[in-house]
């Protein structure tokens, strides 16, 4: 059975984003009175009273800077919610935010998009992810929200480190 690892925004990137986001703006932390914001630092929804920030994040740009790849026109940035201060990261190893419409975007090892799939039902998420990784050219998958197109997290083959 194939395993997949959901990867939140990496701690080093979070540290930078909490100072200046990928659009060059300082974050504007606020108290989340209602809760429910999808946090990309720990892959869970915010709880009422938590301090969060909405920052601009460019996942492919940051990945390309680390790997030397050139995603070309697929380099984009968009809004993501994170804790305003340091957090412990994900509490579990599972795939988060699978309970709503999602888009799974497939990318090659050079950062080119290989396709995407709309996932309309929660039960269809796992089969769609399996289908994406059945293609050996797929290096990683970005899970995105449908309603705003926001990046939620990256998925790679394999188990989490330390598992």
Q: What is the DSSP-derived secondary structure letter of residue 72?
A: G
Write out pLDDT tens, residues 33-75.
999 999 999 999 999 999 999 999 999 999 888 888 888 888 8
User: How does 33-60 read in b/e, with b if 16+ C-beta sit within 10 Å?
Assistant: eeeebbbbbbbbebeeebebbbbbbbbb
What local confidence, expressed as pLDDT, does residue 71 receive? 83
Mean pLDDT of the chain: 92
Does residue 149 carry a pLDDT above 90?
no
Q: Does residue 81 contact residue 43 with C-beta atoms inside 8 Å?
A: no
pTM of the model: 0.91
Question: What does the DSSP assignment read for 99-154?
Answer: SS-EEEEEE-TTS-EEEEEEE-SGGGHHHHHHHHHHSTT--EEEEEETTT--EEEE
What are the backbone angles phi and psi of residue 154, rounded to the nearest 5°?
-105, 145
Asked if the model's pLDDT at residue 163 lies above 50, the reply is no
pLDDT at 2 (0 to 100)? 66
Q: How confident is the model at residue 131 (pLDDT cuts 50, 70, 90)?
A: very high
Q: How far is CA 47 from CA 12, 38, 55, in A?
A: 24, 10, 18
């Amino acid at each position: 059975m194939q395993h997949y690892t959901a990867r939140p925004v990496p701690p080093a990137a979070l540290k930078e984003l909490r100072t200046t986001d990928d659009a060059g703006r300082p974050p504007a932390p606020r108290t989340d009175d209602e809760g429910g914001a999808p946090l990309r630092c720990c892959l869970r929804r915010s709880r009422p009273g938590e301090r969060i920030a909405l920052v601009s994040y460019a996942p492919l740009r940051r990945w390309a800077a680390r790997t030397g790849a050139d995603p070309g026109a697929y380099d984009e940035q968009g809004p993501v919610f994170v804790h305003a201060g340091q957090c412990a990261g994900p509490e579990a190893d599972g795939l988060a935010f699978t309970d709503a419409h999602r888009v799974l975007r497939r990318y090659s090892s050079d950062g080119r998009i290989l396709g995407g799939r709309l996932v309309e039902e929660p039960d269809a998420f796992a089969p769609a992810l399996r289908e994406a990784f059945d293609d050996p050219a797929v290096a990683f998958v970005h899970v995105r929200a449908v309603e705003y197109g926001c990046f939620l997290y990256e998925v790679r083959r394999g188990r989490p480190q330390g598992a």
